[in-house]
Chains A and B, each alone.
Chain A
Amino acid sequence: MLHTNIIANTNTINILPLQVKNLQIVKKGNLLLNDVSLNIESNDVTIILGPNGAGKSLLLRTAHGLEAPTQGSLKWNTTVPLPQQSWRAYIFQKPVLLRRSVRANLEYVLSLHDVDKNDYDSLINSALEYTGLSSLAERNARVLSGGEQQRLNIARAWILQPKAILLDEPTAELDPSGTAAIEQLIKTIAEQGTKIIMTTHDLGQAHRLANDILFFHQGKLIEHTPAKDFFKYAQTQSARDFIDGKLLTGSIEK
């Protein structure tokens, strides 16, 4: 890989397992995450599935420190505090890019962290190349297509060589070719040893990418199983209904 280890000692940090214990999040009197406990140990792709309002994004946001637990805990196996962390990155469904060039967007991220200015060019160029954006480097980021914007968003995360990337429905607004490009990127990043945790509504995508599945319904973790088992032998009725494309509404049905 072109990308040498310039970012401060991220390679020596072991961030897994991610341990969640009795996590509860209450907002405005609503119980949004209900007594969630789980361990994520393997360094591959974990996908969070579930209907809208199941608590998928909330768990992801908590894992990036964007939400605080009401009760219980969520702990990465490291003590690097926010906001100076550079070992973990978060990808929003809709990227908010700065009103400047693609290259300047990447430079901005480097400037937020403790990166030697002499390394900017090589880091930016390798991130551009990695995400296939080299030819668009000088374009205004805001006029890129949705797929290109999301690739820049991922470049912005990858450039700091994070140990984990959290993605909240990264392809929800993209067309099939844009989606394919993002999925390919995610796969490559995971193969090179970065932990991926992402939410999606797209079962096919979960099929293509996931090593294990977290299935949420109404704020509860219903199943945590290896992906191949989940699609064949889901343990619960609600998970089976979800896989079959039934609409999950109301209470947890039998």
Chain B
Amino acid sequence: MNDFSQAFAKALQLIFQLDPALLEIIGLSLRVSLTAVFIASLIGLPLGAALALYKFPGRGIIVALLNAFMGLPPVVVGLVVYLILSRSGPLGVLGLLFTPTAMIIAQVCLITPIVAALTRQTIMDANDEYHEQLRALGAKASRMMKTLLWETRFSLMTGVFAGFGRAIAEVGAVLIVGGNINHATRVMTTAIALETRKGDIELALALGIILITLSLIVTSLVMSAKHAAYQYHS
């Protein structure tokens, strides 16, 4: 127990001293996951809205896949992306394996289904409510879609934050495709796993505290987005 409190004190010290190694790892984590959530939103928001509003062949299959992929195990995503990016894989020539780009690709695969599925559900519910009224008011299809996206913006943000929360906290995918290389692809979750095994509890604990704090911030953002959405819905 004494060891633990010592480690804890040391961890806090690292945080408040703005330890450079610590900052580097946090910076890369944020860069990878924020980029991933940005790209996933660029794909997932319009995809989800299109799935909600338009009928086209194959829609049912895409929806089923999206819902199934929402809960993909990160290690499996990592494995698949690894196989694709490895030397002998189809995209091996790009030489992306063990780079932050590979980690971003893996996280995009992981969270795009979450953003798209939540967007689809949100837009579908809103469409049920609004469609007839907007039509009666004289809104055309393109305007209707814009209106629905704007009206549900807080609920859509919930989906985006949920995606970010999953990306920043996962370890399996970034470990496999990133390789946890010091100063190159080491992020918070992979560093925690490694440092704990090495016995360097202080750094692991400091990163753990930061990660939990980030999670809390994201969760409270989700909650305030939900709250804002609720206020607008009531």
Contact = CB atoms under 8 A, between A and B. Distances in A.
Answer whether A and B are interacting partners: yes
Nearest to B130: A96
Interface in A22-56: none
Contacts of B233: 99, 142
B129 interface: yes
Interface string A145-163: 0000000000010000000
B136 A113 contact: no
B133 A66 contact: no
A24 to B, nearest CB: 22
A109 B137 contact: yes
A142 B234 contact: yes
Contact of A142 (B132, B133, B143, B232): B232
A112 B137 contact: yes
* Interface size range of chain B in the complex: 10 to 19
B199 interface: no
A112 B234 contact: no
B139 interface: yes
Given A95-B133, A109-B137, 15 more contacts: A64-B136, A66-B135, A83-B139, A90-B136, A92-B132, A92-B136, A96-B132, A98-B151, A108-B137, A108-B147, A109-B138, A140-B232, A142-B232, A143-B234, A156-B137
A10 interface: no
Nearest to A156: B137
29 contacts: A66-B132, A66-B135, A83-B135, A83-B138, A83-B139, A84-B138, A85-B138, A86-B138, A89-B136, A90-B136, A92-B132, A92-B136, A95-B133, A96-B130, A96-B132, A96-B133, A98-B147, A98-B151, A99-B151, A108-B137, A108-B147, A109-B138, A112-B137, A112-B138, A113-B138, A142-B232, A142-B233, A143-B234, A156-B137
Interface of A: 64, 66, 82-86, 89-90, 92, 95-96, 98-99, 108-109, 112-113, 140, 142-143, 156
Ranked 7 nearest A-B pairs via Cβ:
A96-B133, A99-B232, A90-B136, A83-B138, A112-B138, A99-B151, A112-B139
B229 to A, nearest CB: 9
B197 interface: no
A106 to B, nearest CB: 11
Given A83-B140, A112-B143, A96 B129 contact: yes
Nearest to A112: B138
Contacts of A143: 234
A197 to B, nearest CB: 14
